[in-house]
Amino acid sequence: MKLLTNIKRKLGKRKLNKLVFHQKRRPIVSNFDSAKSIGIVYSVSTTDYQDIVEKYVNFLKGEIGFKKIKVLGYFEGPKLPSFVINQSLKYSYFTNKKVDFYYFGNCKEVSSFIKEDFDILIDLSQDFHVPIKHVVASSKSRFKIGRLNEENEKFYDFMVDMPENTPVSKYITQINVFLTQVNPR
């Protein structure tokens, strides 16, 4: 079964590369002042990680003043863990049960998120997940932000260089520094 899963993931990566290769998009740089909407994608892993995402969303709403924030979480299992169930009314989620053969999200949560025309899309995931990269690659967002590594180069307009095991809170801090200081033209 693990062999089939690995084959499907490799085929998914291949299909992702084709999707990105054929895209014709022109990024539009935004900062906290110029952006009106923001999308966040992340991989659901632990309660601590979930709490950090929740605090970040509250920061963006409260201190930055975003009115339109949409969050999409992906869990690499068949059903959501119990610590996420309470937040399923606030955010959208999908699991491995809602992906197709290529590990592309195949549900209304993913379709709805992809159709949104965000000014900024932030990927908070630490690892490469085909379902999340599919969302990022397919998104109509104008400015996409993610972690710097060789695999991610084709998916993002701006990447944050962080050591591999850096906590997500430090990664978020660096994103905030950039989005506060960048001058969109």
Token representation of residue 23? 């895209």
Q: Is 80 exposed, middle or buried (0-12, 13-18, 19+ CB in 10 A)?
A: middle
Total domains in the chain come to: 1
- Residue 45: phi and psi, rounded to 5, are -130, -60
Indicate the pLDDT class of residue 164, thresholds 50, 70 and 90. Answer: confident
Q: What percent of the chain has pLDDT over 90?
A: 72
| Boundaries of domain holding 40 | 2-181
Q: pLDDT tens for residues 175-184?
A: 999 999 998 8
CATH number for the domain spanning 100: value is 3.90.1640
Q: What percent of the chain has pLDDT over 70?
A: 97
Instruction: Report the predicted TM-score, pTM, of the whole model to 2 decimal places.
Output: 0.93
- Residue 93: phi and psi, rounded to 5, are -140, 155
